[in-house]
């Protein structure tokens, strides 16, 4: 194919110069030697390369240029028709995921293979950000006792508000759970929060809790890293910012209380 193009070009050039129809196919037709001779007869270089002059400076070009006529089919796929980018934009109503396709100002898909690459590189936060934050993240309240998705601040199933946790999940995931529920299949989520467990067991693992809290505080103060990035390495986030703040505050109170209770202060007068 590639050599055929060059032969076609040479033959075409010779054909034009002599006003003849030539056959420029690679494995038959006119022989290259004959074609080269024809070119030479017309005062051109035998190998199809010609002397050219720079049209701006009038100086000769530093190299001979191989040129001639050649049959060419233009590809109609143009870069200008393909180029596309977006940040936030339109989403589909049902799944709340970004629309697809350039004509709909769609998002760029992170597919199965890209996902595998993220995992292979260990970039879990990037994976989380691509699949959730930039996609269809939504806040869902889950009851820790029954594991069902609940509305706002009340579990209708347990008739209690004591075990509710705010989690973040892809909207499509929430949608699927609700579709399952419509088919009489209950999808129950077991919500685990590191901080919550620590808080439940209180004094038993007080030092673990203390470490976590201090680490959290340090990271927050030093790097501005919040609960979500520290505690929620998993895709399903354990708690929302507000919930964490409250919990952190409670932890702090507990620590202060504990410290005051056990503090031996020799300077204090009785």
Select the span of 4-12, 151-159, 215-223, 259-267 touching Zn ion (CB under 5 A).
Answer: 151-159
Q: Which is nearer to Zn ion, 127 or 155 (CB)?
A: 155
Q: Which is nearer to Zn ion, 7 or 164 (CB)?
A: 164
In this chain, which of 26, 158, 187, 225 binds Zn ion, going by CB under 5 A?
Answer: 158
Compute how many residues bind Zn ion; rule: CB under 5 A: 6
Q: Which is nearer to Zn ion, 238 or 251 (CB)?
A: 238
User: Is residue 157 a contact point for Zn ion (CB under 5 A)?
Assistant: yes
User: Is residue 198 a contact point for Zn ion (CB under 5 A)?
Assistant: no
Q: Minimal CA–CA distance to 207: which of 215, 261, 244?
A: 215
User: Is residue 143 a contact point for Zn ion (CB under 5 A)?
Assistant: yes
Q: Which is nearer to Zn ion, 51 or 157 (CB)?
A: 157
Q: Report the b/e string of 15-24 with b at 16+ CB within 10 A.
A: beeeeeebeb
Q: Which is nearer to Zn ion, 164 or 198 (CB)?
A: 164
Select the span of 22-30, 75-83, 150-158, 182-190 touching Zn ion (CB under 5 A).
Answer: 150-158
Separation of alpha carbons 148 and 177, rounded Å:
9
Minimum distance from CB of 238 to Zn ion (Å)?
A: 17
**Is beta strand 65-66 parallel, antiparallel or unpaired with respect to 149-150?**
unpaired
Minimum distance from CB of 140 to Zn ion (Å)?
A: 13
Separation of alpha carbons 66 and 183, rounded Å:
71
**160: three-class secondary structure by DSSP:** strand
User: Is residue 146 a contact point for Zn ion (CB under 5 A)?
Assistant: yes
**Is beta strand 137-143 parallel, antiparallel or unpaired with respect to 149-150?**
antiparallel
In angstroms, the first-to-last Cα distance of the chain is 101
User: Is residue 145 a contact point for Zn ion (CB under 5 A)?
Assistant: yes
Minimum distance from CB of 164 to Zn ion (Å)?
A: 8
**181: three-class secondary structure by DSSP:** helix
Minimum distance from CB of 149 to Zn ion (Å)?
A: 10
Cβ atoms of residues 52 and 60 within 8 Å: yes
Minimum distance from CB of 145 to Zn ion (Å)?
A: 5
Which residues within the stretch 89-128 sit at the binding site for Zn ion (CB under 5 A)? Answer: none
Q: Minimal CA–CA distance to 31: which of 11, 9, 2?
A: 11
Q: Which helix (H) or strand (E) holds 167?
A: strand 164-170
- Report phi then psi at 122, rounded to 5: 70, 20
In this chain, which of 14, 155, 212, 231 binds Zn ion, going by CB under 5 A?
Answer: 155
Q: Which residues bind Zn ion (CB under 5 A)?
A: 143, 145-146, 155, 157-158
């Amino acid at each position: 194919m590639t050599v055929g193009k060059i032969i076609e070009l040479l033959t075409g050039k010779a054909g034009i110069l002599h006003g003849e129809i030539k056959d420029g196919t690679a494995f038959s037709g006119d022989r290259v030697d004959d074609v080269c001779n024809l070119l030479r007869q017309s005062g051109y270089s035998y190998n199809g390369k010609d002397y050219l002059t720079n049209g701006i400076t009038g100086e000769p070009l530093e190299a001979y240029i191989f040129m001639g006529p050649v049959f060419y089919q233009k590809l109609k796929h143009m870069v200008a028709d393909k180029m596309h980018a977006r940040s936030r934009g339109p989403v589909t109503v049902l799944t709340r995921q970004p629309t697809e396709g350039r004509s709909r100002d769609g998002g760029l898909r992170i597919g199965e293979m890209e996902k595998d690459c993220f995992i292979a590189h260990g970039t879990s936060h990037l994976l989380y950000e691509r699949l959730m934050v930039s996609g269809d993240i939504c806040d869902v309240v889950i009851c820790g006792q029954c594991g069902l998705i609940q509305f706002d601040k009340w579990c209708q199933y347990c008739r209690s508000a004591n075990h509710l946790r705010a989690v973040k999940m892809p909207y499509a995931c929430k949608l699927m759970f609700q579709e399952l529920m419509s088919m009489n299949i209950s999808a129950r989520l077991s919500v685990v929060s590191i901080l919550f467990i620590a808080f439940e067991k209180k004094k038993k693992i007080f030092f673990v809790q203390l470490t976590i809290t201090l680490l959290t505080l340090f990271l927050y103060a030093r790097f501005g890293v919040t609960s979500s990035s520290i505690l929620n390495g998993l895709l399903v986030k354990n708690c929302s910012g507000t919930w964490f703040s409250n919990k952190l505050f409670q932890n702090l109170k507990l620590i202060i209380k504990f410290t005051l209770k056990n503090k031996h202060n020799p300077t204090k007068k009785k």
